[in-house]
Structure 1
Amino acid sequence: MSVIITEIKNNVGIITLNSEKTLNSLSLEMIEELKIVLESWKTSDEVACIFLQGAGEKAFCAGGDVRKLHDVIIAQRKIDGTKVPQDCFDFFSKEYQVDYTIHTYPKPVIVWGHGIVMGGGIGLMVGASHRIVTEKSKLAMPEITIGLYPDVGGTWFLNKMPSAYGIYLGLTGARLDGADCKFLGLADYYIESSSKETILNALLQADWNRASHKTVSHILGNISKEFIIPESQAELHASFIKQFEEIDSLEDFRKILISHNDKDEWISNSVKSFEAGSPSSAHIIFRQLKQGKDLSLEEVFQSELNLSCQCCIHPDFAEGVRALLVDKDMSPKWQPATWEEITEEWIDSYFKELKMENEKLRIEI
């Protein structure tokens, strides 16, 4: 079975992530095939625009296939735990190449962000020129709960959000719906899922002799006018989020979050995931977002490659995946286990520049 399905109809290149059982989670094979297709269609006269979707109705893409990465890390630890497994380097470097390609693509890329869109799925969606969410979209960057951090360009797009939403979402993995995504700038159009065929039919009947970006914008703009965007929970919590704008430390963030009196369901869920998450992850996320504020998009992906590979040789990432997806006991044993045990030197070690075969870790962009 092909991990991605492609077809070209009337200058519309349709790509389907085809792993419905895993909620279209990104495997290395899927990433490699996606890269080949995007590169070949970039200069093809047959393709004027791309429509990217996930198989089935449950998910566009639930993230990277971290279960496979866990197995590779555990195998490598038996040989030499100080070395980054080659498969991990290949996965992250190629995933970020694809993300960067979408961000800088010369043709319109439409992403049908329906159902679950998490982690690596957001990485594919956020750089697209035309991002659609529906009434069933559920987005999040919940990496703190598996000992990782919001990668796939999170340093870039979280820092571009209004107020302190970026740092809040990065540290809590708060869930977002379609209305939230529209408010936060993660999506361009809110269109109900029943209109998918209408969109595809309009694209297939379009005149692609004109400027293709304008053609797509016109089609999606007209269809989206029919729908009223529901109230956004994220927007309703604007005054709560504003409290985090001037914080100087992770401890400040924690105090405001934990001591907030009026904890409704939206805030309570955020507190739970923050407190259950890896203490090391909380620290690296805070530093990642503060340090990365002024980085270019290319610099973001290069720095994230190093940080992701460091996570593969630090304890919490494999442990977080074990607890969630392997043994499913939901009881990760974080190392260090508490906030009090985290030192500056420990966090510094995550940001130390890694080398493979004496070469700096680089993504070919």
Structure 2
Amino acid sequence: MSSVLFDEHATDDGHIVGEITLNAERSLNALTLEMIELMRPQLAAWQEDARVVAIVLDSAGEKAFCAGGDVVSLYKSITGDQDPHFPERFFESEYRLDYELHTYPKPIVCWGSGIVMGGGMGLLSACSHRIVTETSRLAMPEVTIGLYPDVGASWFLNRLPVGTGRFLAMTGGAVNAVDAVHLGLADRCISSDQYPALMASLTQARWQQEGTIDAQGVVNRTLRELEQASKTTFLDLDTPVLNATPLIRELMDHDTTEQIVAAILAVESEDSWFSRAQKTLAHGSPVSIALIDEQLKRAKYMSLAEVFRSELALSVQCCRHKEFPEGVRALLVDKDGSPAWSYPDVASVEQFFIDELLASPWQTNPLETLG
């Protein structure tokens, strides 16, 4: 069975709605290089096909849309005898896919139900219509594996309310559907049981009005109706991020990364969401925390294409140092939960080490042609 399924749904008026299903349920649809290389040519073909009016991106199973990138394969390529160029191939292909989704000329509805982390956030954030459900849990938890939020996160986290993007990146804080829409990480809250209704509505819609295809209008109207029908589903969902926004802004308003970390850890809170964020921060990679702060500062005024070029260089560099593979080993391979981080705390992280990670490994970036 293919790791990605493609389907073409005929509409009543003779058009096609394409459907892409991530089909790796056992691994929570973690994004592999094979999956990326299957998706890109299909997207290109549908872009050129005038019959195709819109695309829906979803996943197999109910637990996760996509729980991240295939970091275990990256770990094996770094620590074993496999292709030493695999990290560069993987990240370049993944970021090209994300950029192509961001700039795709036809509507793409991403059904972000269940776990949406790391590489899954890259896919969701890149689509024109981002749907979350009552089961959605969005997060960028790279601090737990010695990496940093990539897949365009340097771009979309910088566009959250002041301080919130950096806080979520440093703490790996999870975001539910209602908070995701408040923050601008998603567009609409729709009940998870409405997926069949979505596909039925899209295939029964009139896509052509007076000789012109109104794809954006059809998709917007469909999603608007489904969101209205789903309102009661979300009435009881708490909004921990929204509730903590004033506190987060205060905590992030310090002069150094060390001061920010100390301020967050010093808070005495009975809020379970905030306590989990504190725990993740306390056990996260000191290098990642320092790197996250510096990368987000540097990327603040970059274009989307510049962000992906910057992230490609940084991700490849992270694969050449021990922090990232050690984090993956401890969390996902040996699962001992005891990573031997390079530095004991953020205050000990040397600036030259961060500068080395942020230096481009090439004279010409492989993504130079983006944009």
Task: Give the TM-score taking structure 2 as reference length.
Answer: 0.93
Distance 2:365 2:242 in 1: 42
1:5 and 2:16 aligned: no
User: What is the aligned partner in structure 2 of residue 217 from structure 1?
Assistant: 220
Q: What is the 5 A alignment of 1:331-346? A: 331-346=338-353
CA distance in 1, matches of 2:136, 2:41: 28
Contact 1:5 1:18 in 2 (8 A): yes
Indicate if the aligned counterparts of 2:257 and 2:346 stay in contact, CA closer than 8 A: no
Q: Which moved more, 1:183-192 or 1:329-338?
A: 329-338
What per-residue deviation string (whole Å, max 9, x for no partner) do you get for residues 192-244 of structure 1?
A: 11111111100011112131011100110111012143331111112211214
Q: 1:234 to 1:44 in 2, by over 3 A?
A: same
Opposite residue 217 of structure 2, the aligned amino acid is: K
Quote how far apart the aligned CAs of 1:338 are: 3.1
CA distance in 1, matches of 2:353, 2:218: 51
Shift of 1:70: 0.2
Mapping of 1:1-365 within 5 angstroms?
Answer: 1-10=1-10, 11-75=16-80, 85-209=84-208, 210-226=213-229, 227-228=231-232, 229=234, 230-355=237-362, 359-362=364-367, 364-365=369-370
Structure 1 residue 339 displacement after superposition: 2.9
Counterpart CA distance in 2 for 1:329 and 1:245 is 31
How many angstroms does 1:325 deviate by? 1.1
Residue 262 (structure 1) shift:
2.9
Residue-by-residue CA offset, 1:15-72 (whole Å, 9 max, x unaligned): 0011111111011000111111111111111210000001111111111010010000
CA deviation vs aligned residue, 1:129-159 (integer Å, no higher than 9, x gap): 1111001011110000000000000100000
Deviates more, 1:61-70 or 1:329-338: 329-338
SS of the aligned residue for 2:319 comes to helix
Q: Secondary structure at the match of 2:131?
A: strand
* CA positional deviation for 1:359: 4.6
Q: Is the 8 A contact 2:258 2:347 kept in 1?
A: no
Q: Shift of residue 363 of structure 1?
A: 5.4
- Tell me if structure 2 keeps the 8 A contact 1:243–1:256: no
CA contact (8 A) 1:63 1:120 kept: yes
Render the CA deviation track for 1:138-190: whole Å, top value 9, x for unaligned: 11100000000000001000000112110000100001111111111111110
- Equivalent position amino acid for 2:352 in 1: E
Structure 1 unmatched runs, 5+: 78-83
Measure the CA separation in 1 of the matches of 2:133 and 2:51: 29
Q: What is the alpha-carbon distance in structure 2 between the residues aligned to residue 17 and residue 180 of structure 1?
A: 25
* Amino acid across the alignment from 1:118: M
Residue equivalent to 2:13? none
Q: Secondary structure at the match of 1:353?
A: coil
Aligned residue type for 1:172: T
Secondary structure of the 1:34 match is: helix
Q: Which amino acid aligns with 2:218?
A: T
Distance in 2, Cα, partners of 1:145 & 1:245? 20
Q: C-alpha distance in 1, partners of 2:130/2:367?
A: 28
- C-alpha separation in 1, matches of 2:239 and 2:157: 18
Q: Identity rate of aligned residues, in percent?
A: 43
Aligned residue identity for 2:266: S
Name the CA shift for 1:95/1:24 in 2 (closer, same or farther; >3 Å): same
Aligned residue identity for 2:97: V
AA of the residue aligned to 2:65: F
Distance across 1 between alignment mates of 2:70 and 2:246: 36
**Distance in 1 (alpha carbons) for counterparts of 2:112 and 2:347:** 40
| Aligned-pair CA distance for 1:75 | 2.0
Describe the SS at the equivalent of 2:342: coil
CA distance in 1, matches of 2:333, 2:238: 37
Amino acid at match of 1:323: A
Q: Determine the C-alpha separation between the residues in 1 that align with 2:154 and 2:251.
A: 17
Q: CA deviation at 1:76?
A: 5.6
Tell me how far 1:362 sits from its aligned partner: 3.0
What's the counterpart of residue 80 of structure 1? none
State the alpha-carbon separation in 1 of the partners of residues 271 and 97 from structure 2: 38
Give the residue type in structure 2 aligned to 1:100.
Answer: Y
Please tell me whether the aligned partners of residues 323 and 330 of structure 1 are also in contact (alpha carbons under 8 angstroms). Answer: yes
TM-score (norm 1): 0.95
Q: What is the alpha-carbon distance in structure 2 between the residues aligned to residue 338 and residue 207 of structure 1? A: 59
